[in-house]
């Protein structure tokens, strides 16, 4: 059920506008160019004594059209940060050794042709390469003795020697024959095609040498589509690894189970969750080694099903659910150092909050943060310090220390000077009545210098997913503060189907993706158009992915918007059968089983009603929503004489990630929106 929020407005950033704000100084507005000038912080790793945090910091060079990531060290007690690495290659995925002496990271330096594992002393100095793996490495993790590390590499399982791996890699790269052949799904993921390699775990001594295979002969491997350091974990004694592996052999009925395996790779693997037909993953061993926590879903075919916290007692062999009565998904789990509880970063009603989970069974999960969103928790081995990344609509990711009561102390200053030179719009969270008379939470970002006595154009953003809630956080690709700086009141509503409001709310739109999100969107517009500061004659709606789908749903139905923006829009559900996940078994029905029902939820079937000017943006490398959707939509609108524009990026995937492409994207959207809803107060 939808969590009940305040029926009036929940003011988050002083957005109760009793008086007019001073006029906005144009030189202080957040532009897309200034946004790209902000430094982006990655996940931190804390030293065992809690004194230092190591984190990747990315700086973008617009002229060079790329970013560079270096590692920085920040004192947790406060003080100036110092740069740990400064190579011309990007250094990522840092992790501090359990003894606090080393930082392991991933980089492609010098003559490296693939990412390799490097280590550097915590006190600085020259980094040393540990691996020379022709297939590259990712997701490094320390063994508890600090003498060796684990990592993931994608290998051809039929080849034993690394020389043979390198030879096949070169042969395929040099071959004039470019055909690819599959006899089993899946064939692609987001922006790349999958091949016959498998992601496997290996270990290597700190000093380097020959890697030892861990999972290679187990019969299991990590996800071909996506994996990271949360996909596996090592027991404190280093004798066992737990990892999430695809157990479906058909290719169309995915089921990830949790696999236990001795790290020597010399004994048979054990499937810990064979009875659960939905996914299990994100294993975490307790510091004392007695328990293993992991996440479990139960609804087959529903990727946004609630993730339950499960606890394995390694001695007794029993598994119990710790959040069976709690209607939120656990995520970002870390053990507290007494091994009696965990902390997690939880998608909760439009905000990512830190929750505490105790294992005594006497208390419900407890939120220890309220405002702002938190992620990437890292706890010191001695239990005396915890750091996290905090962010909000008006605050880019910032390193903070977190007290046990949730009090955050700002540690990083990378963007302080840039933010001090900006005036951003105030942010407010409201609720309104949507479909089924349910409460719908909506974010409102007001333009800088907002004057409630004047009228402003209204830009409604439609989020993707559909099972992704919009949280109080920076969205780099669709930055609401940038849109607001153009002179618009910007909204983002968490319609039915959004995450963070309970499993029933998220699942309520399946299999009908149209009815309730459409009604929620119309009622959001009615709520905004009833506000005295909104100009009813200047309105635009814009969305990407599922949000683009919702934009094309609006195209065929009554709505109050002068124009639309549809980025990577799912427009024709019949041709969406070519998407990267489309071979998976359908949870409800296939299009040939209920053709009339299927047609009702495909926006293209109402093309006869299309009349709203629409900007279409689509990218060649998008395999999640293939580019034909954008072309089909554009050609349909052109044939109907509807004003429309198609923007095509040949070198982008589902998102626009390159700085110069992004700047063009923002400018094109700005020009289109201004054409049909001129910006600024009247």
pLDDT digits (tens, 9 = 90+) for 363-377: 789 999 999 999 999
The domain segmentation of the chain, as residue ranges, is: 9-31+419-676, 133-159+185-273
Largest CA distance in the chain: 74
Q: Per residue in 485-522, pLDDT tens?
A: 999 999 999 999 999 999 999 999 999 999 999 999 99
DSSP reduced 3-state for 140: strand
Question: CA nearest 339: which of 386, 400, 295, 381?
Answer: 381
At 9 the pLDDT is 32
What percent of the chain lies above the pLDDT cut of 70?
Answer: 96
265: confidence class by pLDDT, cuts 50, 70, 90: confident
The first and second tokens of residue 360, run together, are 């005594």
Rounded distance between C-alpha atoms, residue 355 and residue 369, angstroms: 7
Q: Per residue in 150-180, pLDDT tens?
A: 999 999 999 999 999 999 999 999 999 999 9
Instruction: Evaluate whether 164 touches 151 at the Cβ level (below 8 Å).
Output: no
Q: What is the pTM of this model?
A: 0.94
Q: Judge residue 238's burial from the number of C-beta atoms within 10 Å of its C-beta, 0-12 exposed, 13-18 middle, 19 or more buried.
A: middle
Average pLDDT over residues 222-233: 97
CA distances from 200 to 134, 203, 216, 262 (A): 14, 10, 6, 14
Average pLDDT over residues 568-590: 96
Quote the crossing angle between the two packed helices 546-555 and 515-529, to the nearest 10°: 80
Average pLDDT over residues 463-475: 96
Q: Per residue in 528-556, pLDDT tens?
A: 999 999 999 999 999 999 999 999 999 99
At 266 the pLDDT is 86
Average pLDDT over residues 451-462: 98
Instruction: Evaluate whether 137 touches 153 at the Cβ level (below 8 Å).
Output: yes
Question: CA nearest 285: which of 320, 245, 343, 236?
Answer: 236
360: confidence class by pLDDT, cuts 50, 70, 90: confident
Average pLDDT over residues 221-244: 98
At 241 the pLDDT is 98
At 361 the pLDDT is 62
* Partners of 565 in beta bridges: 542, 615
| 3-state DSSP helix/strand/coil % of the chain, to nearest 5 | 15, 30, 50
Pairing of strands 563-567, 534-544: parallel
DSSP 450: -
Question: CA nearest 311: which of 273, 267, 279?
Answer: 273
Q: Which CATH superfamily is domain 9-31+419-676 in?
A: Alpha/Beta hydrolase fold, catalytic domain (3.40.50.1820)
Q: Per residue in 46-99, pLDDT tens?
A: 999 999 999 999 999 999 999 999 999 999 999 999 999 999 999 999 999 999
pLDDT at 356 exceeding the cut of 60? yes
Question: CA nearest 138: which of 182, 98, 183, 108?
Answer: 108
Average pLDDT over residues 404-410: 96
Q: Which CATH number fits domain 133-159+185-273: 2.120.10.30, 2.60.40.10, 1.10.287.3510, 3.20.190.10?
A: 2.120.10.30
At 1 the pLDDT is 28
DSSP 110: T
Instruction: Evaluate whether 44 touches 376 at the Cβ level (below 8 Å).
Output: yes
At 489 the pLDDT is 98
At 24 the pLDDT is 77
At 16 the pLDDT is 37
362: confidence class by pLDDT, cuts 50, 70, 90: low
576: confidence class by pLDDT, cuts 50, 70, 90: very high
pLDDT at 122 exceeding the cut of 70? yes
Residues 6+ apart with CB under 8 A from 337: 287, 379, 380, 381, 382, 383
At 534 the pLDDT is 98
């Amino acid at each position: 059920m939808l969590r009940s929020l305040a029926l009036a407005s929940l003011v988050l950033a002083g957005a109760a506008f009793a008086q007019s704000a001073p006029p906005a100084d144009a030189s202080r507005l957040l532009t897309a160019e200034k946004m790209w000038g902000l430094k982006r912080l990655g996940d931190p790793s804390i030293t065992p004594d809690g004194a230092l945090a190591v984190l990747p910091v990315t700086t973008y060079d617009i002229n060079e059209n790329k970013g560079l990531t270096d590692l920085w060290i920040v004192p947790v007690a406060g003080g100036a940060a110092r740069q740990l690495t400064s190579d011309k290659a990007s250094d990522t995925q840092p992790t501090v050794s359990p003894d606090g002496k080393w930082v392991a990271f991933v980089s492609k330096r010098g003559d490296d042709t693939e990412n390799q594992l490097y280590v550097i002393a915590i006190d600085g100095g020259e980094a040393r390469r540990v691996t020379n793996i022709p297939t590259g490495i990712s997701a490094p993790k320390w063994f508890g003795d600090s003498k060796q590390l684990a990592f993931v590499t994608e290998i051809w399982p039929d080849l034993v020697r690394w020389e043979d791996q390198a030879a096949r890699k070169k042969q395929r790269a040099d071959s004039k024959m470019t055909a690819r052949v599959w006899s089993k799904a899946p064939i692609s993921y987001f922006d790349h095609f999958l091949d016959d390699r498998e992601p496997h775990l290996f270990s290597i001594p700190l000093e380097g040498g020959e890697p030892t295979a861990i999972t290679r002969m187990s019969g299991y491997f990590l996800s071909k589509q996506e994996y990271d350091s949360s996909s596996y974990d090592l027991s404190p004694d280093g004798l066992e690894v737990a990892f999430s592996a695809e157990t479906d052999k058909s290719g169309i009925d995915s089921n990830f189970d949790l696999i236990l395996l001795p790290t020597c790779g010399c004994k048979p693997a054990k499937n810990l969750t064979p009875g659960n037909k939905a996914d299990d993953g994100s294993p975490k061993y307790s510091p004392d080694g007695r328990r293993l926590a992991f996440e479990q879903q139960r609804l087959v075919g529903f990727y946004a099903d609630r993730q339950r916290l499960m606890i394995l007692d390694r001695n007794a062999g029993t598994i119990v659910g710790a959040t069976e009565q709690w209607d939120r998904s656990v995520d970002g789990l870390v053990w507290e150092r007494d091994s009696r509880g965990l902390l997690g970063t939880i998608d909760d009603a439009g905000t990512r909050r830190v929750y505490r989970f105790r294992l005594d069974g006497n208390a419900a999960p407890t939120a220890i943060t309220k405002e702002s969103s938190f992620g990437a928790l890292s706890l010191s081995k001695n239990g005396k310090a915890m750091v996290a990344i905090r962010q909000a609509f008006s605050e880019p990711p910032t390193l903070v220390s977190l007290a046990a009561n949730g009090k955050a102390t700002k540690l990083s200053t990378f963007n302080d000077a840039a933010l001090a030179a900006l005036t951003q719009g105030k942010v407010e969270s409201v609720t309104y009545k949507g479909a089924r008379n349910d409460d719908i939470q909506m974010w409102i970002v007001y333009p800088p210098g907002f004057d409630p006595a004047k009228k402003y154009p209204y830009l409604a953003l439609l989020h993707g997913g559909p099972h992704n809630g919009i949280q109080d956080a920076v969205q780099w690709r669709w930055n609401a503060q940038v849109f607001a700086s153009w002179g618009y009141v910007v909204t983002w509503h968490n319609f039915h189907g959004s995450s963070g409001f309970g499993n029933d709310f998220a699942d309520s739109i399946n299999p009908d993706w149209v009815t309730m999100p459409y009604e929620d969107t119309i009622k959001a517009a009615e709520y905004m158009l009833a506000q005295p500061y909104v100009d009813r004659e200047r309105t635009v709606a814009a969305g990407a992915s599922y949000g683009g789908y919702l934009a094309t749903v609006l195209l065929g139905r009554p709505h109050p918007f002068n124009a639309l923006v549809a980025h990577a829009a799912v427009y024709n559900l019949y041709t969406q059968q070519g998407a990267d996940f489309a071979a998976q078994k359908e949870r409800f029905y296939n299009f040939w089983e209920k053709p009339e029902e299927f047609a009702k939820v495909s926006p293209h079937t109402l093309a006869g009603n299309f009349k709203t000017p629409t900007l279409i943006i689509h990218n060649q490398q998008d395999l999640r929503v293939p580019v034909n959707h954008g072309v089909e939509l554009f050609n349909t609108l052109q044939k109907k004489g509807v004003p429309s524009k198609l923007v095509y990026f040949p070198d982008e995937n589902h998102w626009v990630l390159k700085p110069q492409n992004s700047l063009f994207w923002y400018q094109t959207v700005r020009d289109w929106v201004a054409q049909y809803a001129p910006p600024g107060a009247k």
